[in-house]
Structure formats: structure tokens, C-alpha cells
Amino acid sequence: MIKAILIFNNHGKPRLSKFYEHYNEDTEQQIIRETFHLVSKRDENVCNFLEGGMLIGGSDYKLIYRHYATLYFVFCVDSSESELGILDLIQVKVFVETLDKCFENVCELDLIFHVDKVHNILAEMVMGGMVLETNMNEIITQVDAQNKMEKSEAGIAGAPARAVSAVKNMNLPEMPRNINIGDISIKVPNLPSFK
Amino acid sequence: MALKIVKGSIDRMFDKNLQDLVRGIRNHKEDEAKYISTCIDEIKQELKQDNIAVKANAVCKLTYLQMLGYDVSWAAFNIVEVMSSSKFTYKRIGYLAASQCFHESTDVIMLTTNQIRKDLSSPNQYDTGVALTGLSCFVTPDLARDLANDIMTLMSHTKPYIRKKAVLIMYKVFLKYPESLRPAFPRLKEKLEDPDPGVQSAAVNVICELARRNPKNYLSLAPLFFKLMTSSTNNWVLIKIIKLFGALTPLEPRLGKKLIEPLTNLIHSTSAMSLLYECVNTVIAVLISLSSGMPNHSASIQLCVQKLRILIEDSDQNLKYLGLLAMSKILKTHPKSVQSHKDLILQCLDDKDESIRLRALDLLYGMVSKKNLMEIVKKLMLHVDKAEGTTYRDELLTKIIDICSQSNYQYITNFEWYISILVELTRLEGTRHGHLIASQMLDVAIRVRAIRVFAVAQMATLLDNAHLLTGNMQRMGICEVLYAAAWICGEFSEHLENPMQTLEAMLRPKVATLPGHIQAVYVQNAAKLFATVLKNQEGNTDSTAAQETSQLMIDRLPLFVQSANLEVQERASCILQLVKYIQKLQQKDVEVAEEVCALFAGELNPVAPKAQKKVPVPEGLDLDAWINEPPSESESEDEQPKAIFAKEEPKHSRPRHTEVDEKELARRREARKQEQANNPFYIKASPSSQKAYQEAPGVEHIPVVQIDLSVPLKVPGLPMSDQYVKLEEERRQKERADKKKKEKKKRKEKRSGRGRKHDSGPESEEDITPAHMVDIVTEEMPENALPSDDDDKDPNDPHKALDIDLDKPLADSEKLPVRAHRAAEAPKSPAEDGEAENAASQEPKKKSSKEKREKKKDKDRDRKKSKEEKKKKKHKHEEKGEDLLGGQADEPVVQSEETNEVAALPTSTSAEVSDLDFWLSNAPVPSNTQEAATVAEAAPVPEAASGTAPDSEPEEPKDTEMEETKSSKHKKKKQKKEKEEKEKKKKKKHHHHHHHSDGGGEESVQNGTVEEEEPLPPMSNYCLLAENSYIKMVYDIQGNLQDGSQVVVSVIFENKCDSFLKSMEFNVLDSLNSKLQRPEGSGPHDGLTVPFQLPPGVSNEARFVFTVQSIVMPQKLKGTLTFIVKNEDSSTHEKLDFKLHFTCTSYLITTPCYSDAFAKLLESGDLKCSSVRLEGVIMPFHHLLARICFHHHFSVVERIDSCASMYSRSIQGHHVCLLVKTSGQTVSIDAKCDEPTLLGNVLDEIKQTFSQC
């Protein structure tokens, strides 16, 4: 079982938090902070597994994380999950790459402004703490189909809103769009991917 | 219309959307909290608007704020509103918000049941998907129960997208509602072979998760998984299955043997590291489960270790980490194969990655031996010095202590070395583990007698240099050590070289800055020291020294008397007064040392932590029994309690007790000695040395003194343990030399020579002998301690509830709750749905009342459900009776079925077992036949939970129980068929139960449970409404508590023919008094469509609401059911007339009443009296009561022997009170009610009920 999936940036600001077990908001924030402290002080080239989160889990649980440019992707899992499997799930073929496809070169800003979309993508991959789908194409197909539905529902009613949001977004280019997770396609040579 | 929408959205575009909110927060970095609070105010405004788009937008923003840590539970209701939007866009937003912030105690969740159900059956697969995803996060036991059936239906949905989600969510449903596991499991099992790989993977996922917690119930699936493992190419699925096998093998060693080969092949062939790793892991699990010794297994171990070594040597830190992790598993059973890689593991200790170092540390724990302990610890000590982070250093510290203290200090050969290691560890900056070190010091000093002299010397040094430990506040954790030091110096003060100096050190003013509990120990042990000092000084002729010591105490103690800590204060003032008194005596030249010493005489023994718990309860002692008579009954006792105690205790109970005890104790002691002698782990005190101590407790008799402690030991702040490594080395060499010599000489001579010179150590069979005659005092356990029991099982584990036998055939009662009762209200098609929603929004008041009603029904069903469980589980008929009294039971109790059930059981379970046996026995194992017998016994047979089947050996019960079923498969099949038929019958029966179906129930004593009172016969309130060759209707009428003018008629329709029944219309000719409630807009003579169709053999229940005005008289209403019978080729229109009988009983509602309220009611005098006599009633009284309760909706207020008072209330608030008395076969019922007509009719109906018996 996956107990929680967290995404936060290099400063510990949460970009996505999905808990598959209930905690109250304060505990959630504490967990995020604690996880950030545990993860952020680790060097780049150390292993991606981490034990000893106090708040979440206990002895049976592990943190499995990846660090991309400005973002940490952390999965908190118990012993029924394969460590390497989850690691692959985060990167090779699945989560991050799906984000990359859906947002076209994903960067932190995408995650900041579209948490809901990230949640929707995640929902196609992990459900209730269990891995639902590991096939990236399948995930993308379903996400696209749902987005299409959303668009068709918006119809004429959505047009003005879209116009306004376009105007609002005019300022966006000033924002640094180059916080790109450019090297997203680095494959870990020793980890042959899932077929 | 369109314009309105556009206008709405124009309004909306001036609201902030999520992006604006995020942008705003980013622009208000300095006053973020303030900005967000204004945003929340805006959101609150938005939520008040009617426009769902605005609401959805607000909820979307709330979801974001929730992530930032803001509590948004106040908007829960709005989230539900957004969830119920018909637009997917908003629905998704709503469900996302719900999944993020709903949990079990969110009260609005219970409003969502119908909405979720509607979404689950939505024609749009994404509506369903979104609902499933959301539900997976916030499912509650109630939701799980209500929706289990719907979700189970979805598991066979045409779209794989829905199927896989439905399968996956079942796990959550099982967790919340364990009863659903057995009914749903067959379908879940089917999904393992689903054509869609996603669904298959989901099913594997769920079953693995289930099996991980309760593996033994899933053993029978092993062949299926084995097939999947050899056929699947999906690595994710493979990993899951292989992990599952890892959990199963410990239960079934034969499975392991079968697995080894394919796993080994996978290890050789796969390129995916994740798969390889899991294979290795499972092979390890298999090897652990198998008894080692088979030649081919050592090859497997070699393969694993070799592969792991490759992983550990890899440059990828992840693989290195996992390699070490797996290695530690091998270590437990095959330490030898790991120990050869010590170099590699020690190397990992230098890794820059902390996780890896920690793993390596874990491995070290298992790799130490007497030989290498010192070396390894030395290396670890180096790391301690180098380590930067306090966490890692603390980890090192605990590991060092763990390694050294493991299995009762098994590997320590030189305790002086260990004490000096502990002392060295106290110099660590800012460690949290001062307490741990302290407890080790205490433990060693107490349990290893020989080391006390050395320990005391070291502790005295520590106390002397206490300022080093307490110097700065950061080291506060370490000052715990002083606690141990003070205690040891005090307790074993006779070993101190210079007690006066230590006493002085313990009374320094600086001590007052230590934490209170440490000061308390200081004070107490200062007193002990004082006693020792006095004793030494009084021996001398000079008495002034002793007086000076007393003066020192008197001077210093007041500091502690002023302490803020109560404990310190109390001890200090107590001791101060004592010393003052002593001083007085001293001034009179009285020798006091002996007496003072006597205060602290006696040895303290270590007691095992669980000792108290393990004291066995002596035979004949009932801890729950009253010691005295309960006070209410024997008041006279209170008057002279003294006499009782004075007389009884000393005279007979005491002396007899001790006598028995002494004999018994001696016997037990003997037994325990015997046991300890046989226990290889019990480190025995050698009798000779113990004697020596007892005879002469003097210092010079302890061999340790002889070691000439080199001077540096006494200099604090210098590492000294290193010397022991050298010393030890020398000692061992010497020993080896000695050994050679010894072979020439005679043993006895040697031993006598060595008794004193401890350096050389006594000889033993082992290669390395301990430096001391180590006399480890074992922790005391109570005489006759119970063998270790399950101390650490978590009763709160949610997975415990899922420990359910899945091989047992389904019982009839094990059905997922179908929402039959709500059928009439739940609209069928989405079109109607929309209408209903419109109607609801037009009339919010009506909606809420409807919700209330539904809630109530929910409750009813809850009650019913729990009742069913009780019946099933406990078979306690007495309790059932009470239940029936408590609630309205509208579900028939079918007991005779369960006996069938039990009889049918053994065949199928043993068949399952033998299947598995057969599959397993195919394993190419040479020693199979021999082992099979033993394994069969050990193998956890899926237990026939009924408890009737003797569960000793799987094959046996077949023979004994099932007469001739033995091996002929033919017969088994036949039996199965029979069973199926029976089950079918049962299903039918289920809905047939009427008043009088109790014939078969009487003899159904289930599973041999012996009952005090006769079991209750099954009862049902459903009576026949009408029947023809196509359809049968039974009905029951219940009053509606909320509305005094309504009753609900539940009708079960059962299709009796082979054709399809549809378009059923239910119509009743209204009377002036009673009217069928029809939907608005329909005429008074229109029929009501029954909201379902009936395939052949199926039955379903619908509810119809009637309004009544007067309830004092029974009534009959004529009605008609029209329906279409559809065959393959033709369809005919049929009708069936019926008469609905509204009895007065049906207007009564079971209402509990307390006896005092009941008495008041009777006293009030508003009630009219009436009575009735029943003759020839042959049934136990409790049956009688249960019947009245059940059929006539009464509740028992009080029951005394053969007399009971009962109460009920009508929907219009009439009180009905009964007094039921029985004598012989006559039952007299006196009744009171404020409405005499009603009462008369009710009594008539009661009479009727019993005349039918």
C-alpha cells in the first residue's frame, strides 16, 4: 500500500499532497515538513530510500523519493510494495513522464497552477493507495478523454471564462518558465524499465 | 436559457479562479496568512450563491488551501453539493475535494450514499470512475455496507476501466466492512483471469494485500498464482505475486520447494532489477521456511548471496541498499554464508550514504562473535568519533550497545572492556541516549558480580568528574549516566577505594543543578555511602573522623532540603534528621555504624520486565469473585468488620498458607533449577564462586581486584578501551599457550591455581574463554512463570477482521445488503433522476424530510444487519430474543439452513485441501512421501470455521463425518449437487417465511452449542398478500415514527414462473381512512409502478407509503397488481387481486420504555383497562414474550420470573401497556391504554396470534 504521495519543491513548499489515510491538516503539514527535512539534507547521489519518518508509518514504512530539478517526488509506502518498482513508477514510464506528456515539458509552474490536473492524472495511476495502472499510454488516454469531456461541457458557457483567463495569463511569460525539469528523460542505467 | 448561463459565467469571471488564487498567494509572500484569510472570506461568499459553477470554483480553491494546511471541513456540505452536480467537470472537482478532506467522522458523508450510488450506475464511465476514485479515499463502514453490492456489480462491468477500479476499491470495502469479503471473493477470484491486464493486475493487487495480512486463508489460491507467475509478462504483476509467495511459503514448505526452480530461472533470466530483487527475496523466504540441510539448497543460498553481493558492489546506491537489506534476512538463518562477506559490509560502513551505513550496521549486529566483537566495536567507536550528524551517531551508539548486550551479553568476554566502552560513550556530545547507557551500566553492574569492583571505581571517577558531563546544557541527555553512577557507587559502596572522596563529590553544591530524579538518587546514595564511611571510620580509634563525616552531611544536605523537587526534598529532610540523630549519638560515643548499615542491608535482585505479568494465577483463585459478600445483601457485616479480619486471617488462613507454600515453593524451585539446567541460554552461576562470595564478601576475594589497573584508566577524558583489545589479544595468546601446556598437565592442579588469577581465565571447551568467571545473575522470574504468551498482538489491527475463511461455501445469510427497501424511492432511469432533482430543488423542505426518512431506514437496516451477525456468530438464542425485543425485525430468521450448511461443509473444504495437496505433492521432492504426512498435519488446513468438523487431520473428517464419501469423486459431485439444490431451496425459503414457519426451527440446535433456554423459533412478520401461478406477494406493515399518519407497506414480489415479469403496477382502492400515497400530479386512482422487473425465480421488495387517519380500528383495503408476463415469443397481461390487511398492531411502534417511566404512566390513571386470557399455550415464557415483541411491536420493560411488563406506542402516540403472566398453560394479559378501542383490537390480534400456534 502507498500511504501518501507528496510533491514539494526545494524549499519544502507543498505542490501536491495526497494522503491515502486520514490525518488532520496540522499533522499533514507536519508530515510534509518532516519528510522535507529528511529528504532535503540528503546528497544527490545517495540511495532513494529512506526510513525513519516519525509521523508517518513506523517501522514497516519507507520513503521512496526522486529529486528532479526543483521538485521532490516522495512516495511513502509499506513493505508490500517493491522499492524498485515504486522508483520506476515515479519516473521511468509512469508518473513524471505522464506529467511531462500531459503538460508538454512539465515544470514546477505547471504543478503550482494546476494541482487539480495533477491530482486527476495521479488518480488514474494510484487509487486508494494501490497502484491502478502502470501503462503510461493508458493513463494518458483516460486523462485526455476526461479533459475532452470537460471541454465539451464548458461549451459556450466556458468561452468568456476562457477569454478572461487568457487575459489574466498574459502576464505569465514574465514568469520564469525555465525552471524546467529539463533532464527528465535521464534513465537510470541500472534500472531496466517496466515493459 | 443560454443567455442566463452566459450571464452567470460573466459574473463568474470576476471571481478568482484557482490560478488567480495561487498567483495572489505568490504575490503576497509577506502577508500570506492575511491574504488567504480574505480569500477564504470570498470563498464563503461564493459558496452562498446558487450558481453551481461558482460553488465548484470555490471548492476547487478550497482543495488547494487544504493542501496548504487550512482546515476546510466547514465546507463539507458544499463539497457534497458540488459532487452531486450533473456536470462531470464539477463532479470531479467535488469528488477530489471530498477525497482530500473527508474522513470517517465527517458527518455529511452519510448524505452522499445515494449520490454515489447514482454515480456508480451512471452511463458515463468517467462519472463512475470519478466516484470510485473519490470513494476509495473516504469510504466509511456505512458506505461500504450500503454500496458493497453496487461495487460488486461493477466488477463485471463491460468496460475494463470501470472493472479495474471496482476491483481495486473492493479492498477498501473489505477493510471497512469485513462481512463483504466472503460474498465478493468468488468474483474477485474470477478477475484474476480477466482478459484485461489492468483488471488482472488490480485483482492480484487486492488479493496480495489481503493475503499479506492473513496468508493462511489464501493458500488454496497458490496453484492459480503459480500459473499466473509462469504465464504473466507484466513485471508489476509478477513482483506482486512473488511477494505474495514470500508470505505464503512460511505456511507451506512444500510450496517453497515447488517455487525454487521457477524463481531460480527468473533470477537467471530477467533483466529487470526490481524483479530480480524480489525473486531473491522470495527465495530467501523459501529457504528460511525450509529446514536447511538439503544439498541443493546451499546452492540456492549461494546464488542469492552471490547476486546480492553483485547488488551491494554496484555503484547504484539503491541497489546497494536493497542488497544489504536482503542480506540481513539471510543472516537470520544462514549467518555463515553472510559472514564471509564481512569485508564488504564493513566497507559499507564507510559509505557516505547514511541509509546504507544504517543497513550495514544492522548486518553487523548479526555478524559478531566472541572473536570479532572487540574489533567490530572498535571500528564502530571510530565511526562514532567521526560521525557528524547526531542522529547517525545516536544510531551508532544504540547499535554498539545492542551488539554488545545481545542475547544476555553472550559475546562479551571481558566486561571491564565493556564498562570502559560505556564510559567512553558518555563523552559523546549531545546524545539523546544517556538513559540507555545508564541502564546498561546498572544492568552490568548488578548482574555481573565480578565486575562490581571495577565498575564502582569507574563510576566514582565519573562522579568526581561530573562537571565534565554537566558542563554545558547541550549534554543534558548524558547526565542520566550520573544517575547510574550514583546508584552503583552507593549500592556497592563496600568496593569503593575512597568512599569519603566519592561522598564528598556527591554532595557538591553543583549537584543541585541536575534534574530532580537524579538528585534524589544522589541524596539516597549519599546516605548509603555515609553508612559505609561510618563503618570504616568507627573501626579506627579516632572518632573525630566519623563526626566530621556527619558534620559534612549536615552541612550539605540542607541544600537539597530546599529543593523544588518533592522527591529530593523528602529524602533529603528524612536523611538530614537521621544524620542529626546519629550525630547526637556519636557525641555520646555510641557506636552507630552497624545500625546505620542495617538500614541499607540486603541485595537487590534484577527482576525481568514481564515477571509481574507472568505470575500464574494459583489454582482455585478466582480474581473476579467477590472477596466479601456484596455489600447490599449483607449489611450486618459493615457493623463489625474488625472481628472478621481479626479472627479469620491470623488463625487459619495464614499458617496453612505458608505450609503449603513452603513445600510448593521448594518443589517449584527444584523444577525451575531443572529447567534452567536444561536451558542452554541460561548462564549459570558456578556454585563454587557463589559460595565464595557468600562466605567472604570481602574485597580481596574478588578476583578482579588483582588486575593492576593501569593509571590512565583513572584519568578521565582519555580513551582506554583500546587497551583492552591489546590486553585481550595477549590474554588469548597466553591462553592458547596455556592450553597447549595444559594438555600435558593434569586439569585439577590448573584449576586450583587459577581460581585467583583471573587473567589467565578458566578453561572451557570454547575457543575463547571469558576473562572473568562471569557470574551473570539472570533476571528473576516468578516461580512457575507461564511460558511466553502473545504479548504483542495489536487488537486494533483493522486487518484482523479480514481473517476470514474463504474456502467455506457461502451461507445464505451472507449476502451483500441489497437496498431493497429503498427501491420504491430510488428512480430508475437518469431521466427520472433529473426530474427528481428538479423537484427536490423546488421543494427543499420535502427533500430534507425524505432524507430523514431514509436515514431512519438506514438505521433500521443497521439494526437488522447487526442482528443477523449476532445470530450467525454467537448462536445465542437468548440474546436473539432480546434483540427481537429491541428492534423491529422484518427479516426472517432461518436457522434450519445453517444446519444444512454445516453438514455440507466438510466435503468441500476437504476437497479444497486435497486439491492443494495434490498440486503440491507434484513437486519433485525425493522425500515427499515421508514428509507429506508430517506436513499435512502442520499445514494450516483452511479450517472449517463451523467448529463441528474435527480439525486434526484433513483427510479424517471426510471419513468419519461423511460416512462413505471417502474417495469416490462421483459421490462428492452428487453431494455438491444436492447442496446446490438445498441452497436454491433456501433462497426460496428465505422469502417464504410466514408466521408459522417455525416447525423446522425447533430442533435446530446449532453446532452443538448448549443453550440454557430453548432456542427461539424463526419468526417473520411477512404474511401472504396474494399468490397465483406467476407471482407471489408477501407483505409487512410498519408504522412511521416521524409521521403520525403514515404507515409503510413492504411487499416482496417473487416471480414463480419461468417468464420475465415486467411493468408491474400496484394499485389500491383508497378508503376514506387510508390512502395510498401517490406521486404528485397523478390521479387518486392511478397505480404505482413497481420500480423493478423480475427475471424468473427472482424476488425483490418494494415499499409503499399509506396515509391513515384513524388508527383505532383494523382495516382492509382491496387492491390489484397488474403486470406483463413476457416469454420468448409472447407476452400476456395479467392481474392479481389482493386485500391489504391493516391490523392495529401495524400502527404500533416498538418503543423502549424504562421501568420508572412505565410505573408513572400506570399511576397517571389516564389509561383504560382491559384484559384477556389465553388457554393452552405451550411454549416457554421467553418465546411467548419474543412473539409478542416481534409480531406486535412491543418491548419488554421488566421481566420477573413468569411475569413481564411490556410497552408499545402507536404512531399517533397512544401508550399501550401490558402485564403478561403465565401459569401452566394459561396466560393472562392485563392491558392498559388511553384508547380502549385500539386496545381491544390489539388484544384480539394477540389472541389470534397465539390461537394459530
CA separation for the pair A27, A23 (Å, rounded): 6
Strands B1031-1039 and B1046-1055 turn out to be antiparallel
Q: Which residue has 401490558 as its cell numbers?
A: B1218
pLDDT at A98 over 80: yes
User: What distance in Å separates residue A51's CA from the closest CA in chain B?
Assistant: 8
C-alpha to C-alpha distance for B483 and B486, rounded to whole angstroms: 5
For residue B617, how far is the Cα from the chain centroid? 27
In the predicted model, is pLDDT for residue B1242 greater than 90?
no
Q: Which three cell numbers stand for residue B731?
A: 590474554
Taking alpha carbons only, the member of B361, B362, B340, B334 closest to residue B349 is B361
Burial environment of residue B830 by CB neighbours within 10 A (0 to 12, 13 to 18, 19 or more)? middle
Nearest by CB to A127, from B88, B169, B316: name it.
B169
Q: Tell me which of B720 and B439 has the higher pLDDT.
A: B439
Q: Which of B172-181, B185-194, B195-204, B644-653 has the lowest mean pLDDT?
A: B644-653
- Alpha-helical (H) ranges within B1126-1196 are 1155-1163, 1181-1192
Q: For residue range B791-814, what is the model confidence (pLDDT) as tens digits?
A: 444 556 666 777 777 766 666 666
- 3-class SS string, B920-973: HHCCCCCCHHHHHHHHHHHCCCCCCCCCCCCCCCCCHHHHHHCCCCCCCHHHHH
Model confidence over B198-243: pLDDT tens digits?
Answer: 899 999 999 988 888 888 888 888 888 888 888 888 888 899 899 8
Mean model confidence pLDDT for chain B? 73
Q: Among candidates B99, B145, B277, B66, which has minimal Cα distance to A126?
A: B99
C-alpha cell belonging to residue B130: 470519478
Stretch 249-288 of chain B: residues touching chain A, C-beta under 8 Å: 271-274, 277-278
Name the pairing type of β-strands B1168-1174 and B1226-1233: antiparallel
Residue B1172: pLDDT band (50, 70, 90) is confident
Kindly determine whether residue A115 and residue B64, on different chains, have CB atoms separated by under 8 Å. yes
Asked if the C-beta of B417 comes within 8 angstroms of chain A's C-beta atoms, the answer is no
pLDDT of residue B942: 41
CB contact at 8 A, B1046 and B1037: no
Nearest CA in chain B to A124: B133
Element holding B1127 (H helix, E strand): none
Query: What is the greatest pairwise CA distance in chain B?
Result: 128
Report CA dihedral (B1205, B1210, B1213, B1219) to the nearest 10 degrees. Answer: -10
Q: Does A28 touch chain B (CB under 8 A)?
A: yes
CA dihedral B975, B976, B981, B986 (to 10 degrees): 100
What pLDDT is attached to residue B362?
Answer: 83
A vs B, Cβ pairs < 8 A, gives 191
| Matching residue, cell 538513559 | B435
Q: How far is CA B916 from CA A9, B244, B252, B909, in A?
A: 52, 17, 11, 11
Own/partner contacts of B583-591, CB < 8 Å, gap of 24 or more, are B583/B547, B583/B550, B583/B551, B583/B554, B586/B543, B586/B546, B586/B547, B586/B550, B587/B547, B589/B543, B591/B538
Instruction: Return the higher-pLDDT residue of B606 and B1115.
Output: B1115
Q: In percent, how much of chain B has pLDDT > 90? A: 7
Cell numbers 486508494 correspond to A128
More confident residue, B862 or B897: B862
Other C-beta atoms within 10 Å of B656: how many? 10
- With bands split at pLDDT 50, 70 and 90, how would you rate the model's confidence at B144? very high
pLDDT digits (tens, 9 = 90+) for B1189-1234: 888 888 888 888 788 888 888 888 888 888 888 887 888 888 888 8
| pLDDT tens digits for range B41-50 | 989 988 888 8
Q: How far apart are CA B1034 and CA B1024, in angstroms?
A: 4
Check B8 against A157: CB less than 8 A apart.
yes
Sequence length of chain B is 1253
How does B806-827 read in b/e, with b if 16+ C-beta sit within 10 Å?
Answer: bbbbebbbebbbebbbbbbbbe
To the nearest whole angstrom, how far is the Cα of A16 from the nearest Cα of chain B? 7
CA nearest neighbour of B116 among B850, B100, B49, B140: B140
Round the CA-based radius of gyration of chain A to a whole number and report it.
17
Smallest Cβ distance to B209: which of A1, A120, A194? A1
DSSP state of A68: E
Q: Directed axis angle between helix B2-13 and helix B52-67, to 10°?
A: 30
What amino acid occupies position A116?
D
Q: Do A161 and B103 touch (CB under 8 A)?
A: no
pLDDT of the residue at B620: 79
Contact indicator for B1214, B1151 with CB cutoff of 8 Å: no
Domains of chain A, CATH where assigned: 2-149 (3.30.450.60)
Shortest CA gap B167–chain A (Å): 10
Check residues B1247 and B794 and name the one with the higher pLDDT: B1247
Q: To the nearest whole angstrom, how far is the Cα of B186 from the nearest Cα of chain A?
A: 21
Which residues of chain B from 161 to 190 reach within 8 Å of chain A, CB to CB?
A: 161, 164-165, 168-169, 171-172
pLDDT tens profile B934-986? 444 444 444 433 444 344 444 444 444 444 444 444 544 445 555 555 544 44
pLDDT bin (cut points 50, 70, 90) of residue B96 is: very high
Amino acid at B939: A
Average pLDDT over residues B823-829: 41
B1169 to each of B212, B636, B1164, B1207, how far by Cα in Å?
Answer: 65, 44, 13, 14
Cβ burial of A139 (10 Å; 0-12, 13-18, 19+) is buried
User: B1020-1072 pLDDT, tens per residue?
Assistant: 777 888 888 888 888 888 877 667 778 888 888 888 888 888 888 888 888 88
pLDDT at A68 over 70: yes
Test the B interface: residue of A25, A31, A138 with most B CBs within 10 Å = A25
Question: How far is Cα B897 from Cα B724, in angstroms, rounded to an integer?
Answer: 77
Handedness of CA B430, B431, B432, B435 (dihedral sign): negative
Quote the CA–CA distance of B798 and B175 in Å, as a whole number.
7
Q: Does B213 contact A at CB distance below 8 Å?
A: no
Percent of chain A residues past pLDDT 70, beyond the cut: 74
Q: How far is B532 from chain A (nearest CA, A)?
A: 48
Smallest CA-to-CA distance from B370 within B424, B422, B406 is with B406
CB distance B46 to B35 below 8 Å: no
How far is B1182 from B1199, CA to CA, in rounded Å? 10
First to last CA, chain A: 22
Record the cell numbers describing residue B24, joined without a space: 495572489
As a whole number, mean pLDDT of residues B426-437 equals: 78
Neighbours of B833 (CB within 10 A): 15
The more confident residue out of B976 and B133 is B133
**Chain A partners within 8 Å of B89 (Cβ):** 149-150, 153-154
Distance CA B489, CA B495 (A): 8
